[in-house]
Structure 1
């Protein structure tokens, strides 16, 4: 298995990206086709800091119109459901002999998230069929079970791939996973091994926190990372609260009243660790948030992956910055 990671550090201007990949056909393919590996990085002078770049990208992408996908609702074996939002090239059909790219959004994302729309619009522009996997309860789809989704569990992805393999009649399937979607993709490829290689031709993951334990510790450092941490925790609380019709009450391992917001000001889970301790870990059978983060991490499981995998990370990513040494 070959692995490529391209990364750049904002304060290391006029340097080329770092390529971490063993010698072989995969590295040769990357060096031949990715011109960016030879280009020096120049940050935008008026927006050179990573969190500012994230905010600015969100503002600029907000002008993108909603995409008129063709929605396919996929029932799951446990009674849940996900949706597959298709976008074919102009004048093209679903997949054909060229196959398609399956896109997995991030933490609270969906097919209409700005960064997802940017990816699928570019895929459509170059003539590629793509389909976005909206996680349970996301993209306007009702949550039918008390189970949601997490970085360490790829069962729903496996069912979606089984469905696509039948639908596309053997045409190649590629995956692009972004942030949480990248973790789900990586964990699927690592845990299924050759079985995954029989379904997936190649994959790419973007902005993945490789070591979730260290990544979350970094996100708990004041000031700006901690503020971002608290904002994401607030988004998770809002999402869980919107699923209260399934998650509240009943005989659950979690107490939703101990997880989410109370009123407008009071927030029960103020950080991602608190949310994952009170909800995610209990829902998916982990001892605590630390156990969940260890199980989600990919840095020590990459050797199990049996398909070509391209991994793209920024060296100043708040979740997983490149070590200084």
Structure 2
């Protein structure tokens, strides 16, 4: 599919990628959304929590939001989508990945960029228990990579899944990881590492036979974290093997569901490989939009929903009246 020309034009101040990224992460608020929590049991007897919000009318449509690294179902980039779609006749479920809902999960493993087995359980739950005939996905960053991997790696994608919007996608995980380790991203890198290590310290007290305090103290970078925990806990040889197997880039040619990727050109988290121009041009189901501005998940429109949220509504063909 030809590359999509973007109509996104941010307010002047937010043309700067750093400003739009930080503002969206720290200052944005979404008010008035009422969520109800549902806990589901996964195939391995672990759990995760789903935060539901509903449209006022009966509907057969639901949108599923998948968060980024160390996110959760209450992040404004999740609740903003939920609120917008609720006002347009669509139920919404904000997924909290394992261990991200305020309570440690049971297993030593947790979540990662390619954990599509958990997505399978969520989708089966929606189809079997909720009876939705139209399921849409809005993935952010890590969650965006996960859903792209899911729809590209499987031949048995349920027919109920009608569309995917993936925002700020690190579809080449190794390339994105290297970007996060550069000086320009040191603030983000250190913040992610702090939260990941703090969460890992709690997990170590639950699974002292799997991980030592000494190993945790040796983590100085995100790559160290993935070498010491992510890869070992989830069956990969090392961090590089994890990045290689779980990057969604390799699965994009197989996608057969209408899919929109929105990656800003001034997103400092993304490497050149994270802009899949060749793959989009070769696949009629895959649309690639590359706005000049927006940073990482920072497609700001003041006194309004974010550009990517309204763009998802448009892309899915949901009535915007």
> Which TM bucket (shorter chain)?
0.7 to 0.9
Structure 1 match to 2:34:
68
1:212-251 pair list within 5 angstroms: 212-222=173-183, 224-246=184-206, 248-250=207-209
Alignment partners' CA distance in 1, 2:57 and 2:145:
31
CA gap 1:106/1:38 in 2 versus in 1, 3 angstroms: closer
Q: Is the 8 A contact 1:202 1:308 kept in 2?
A: yes
Gaps of 5+ in 1: 5-17, 20-36, 261-267
The CA distance in 2 between the partners of 1:128 and 1:45, in whole Å, is: 33
* Secondary structure, counterpart of 1:259 in structure 2: helix
Normalized against structure 1, the TM-score is what? 0.77
Kindly report which structure 2 residues correspond to 1:1-325, keeping only aligned pairs within 5 A, or say none: 19=4, 37=5, 39=7, 42-61=9-28, 63-65=29-31, 67-89=33-55, 91-93=56-58, 96-97=59-60, 99-193=61-155, 195-222=156-183, 224-246=184-206, 248-250=207-209, 252=210, 254-255=211-212, 257-259=214-216, 268-322=218-272
Q: What does the per-residue CA deviation read over 1:10-69, in whole Å, with 9 as the maximum and x for residues that have no partner?
A: xxxxxxxx52xxxxxxxxxxxxxxxxx463x545433432122111223331x4348431
* 1:263-318 CA-partner distances (Å, limit 9, x unpaired): xxxxx422211111110011112121111111121222211222111111111111
Taking structure 1 as reference, are residues 257 and 126 closer, same or farther at Cα in structure 2, changes over 3 Å only? farther
Q: Decide whether the 8 Å contact of 2:175 with 2:271 is kept in 1.
A: no
* Contact 1:219–1:228 (CA under 8 A) maintained in structure 2: yes
CA distance, structure 1, for counterparts of residue 215 and residue 150 of structure 2: 31
Rounded to whole Å, the distance in 2 between the matches of 1:271 and 1:70 is: 36
Q: What SS class does the counterpart of residue 208 from structure 2 fall into? A: coil
Indicate the SS of the match to 1:145. coil
CA contact (8 A) 1:210 1:299 kept: yes
How far apart, in 2, do the equivalents of 1:279 and 1:240 lie?
8
Distance (Å, rounded) in 2 between the aligned partners of 1:71 and 1:317: 32
Higher relative contact order (CA 8 A, sep 6+): 2
* Aligned-partner Cα distance in 1 for 2:92–2:257: 19
Closer/same/farther in 2, CA of residues 286 and 204 from structure 1, 3 Å limit: same
Q: Give the direction of change, closer, same or farther, for the CA distance of 1:310–1:47 in structure 2 (3 Å limit).
A: closer
Question: Could you list the per-position Cα deviations for residues 232-286 of structure 1 after superposition, in whole angstroms to 9, with x for gaps in the alignment?
Answer: 111211222233443x312x2x4354125xxxxxxx4222111111100111121
Instruction: State the partner residue of 1:22.
Output: none
RMSD across aligned positions (CA): 2.4
More deviation in 104-113 or 134-143?
134-143
Q: Which structure has the bigger radius of gyration?
A: 1
Kindly state the Cα deviation for residue 221 of structure 1 after the two structures are TM-superposed: 1.7
* CA distance in structure 2 between the aligned counterparts of 1:318 and 1:242, rounded to whole angstroms: 30
Separation of aligned partners in 2, 1:157 and 1:66: 28
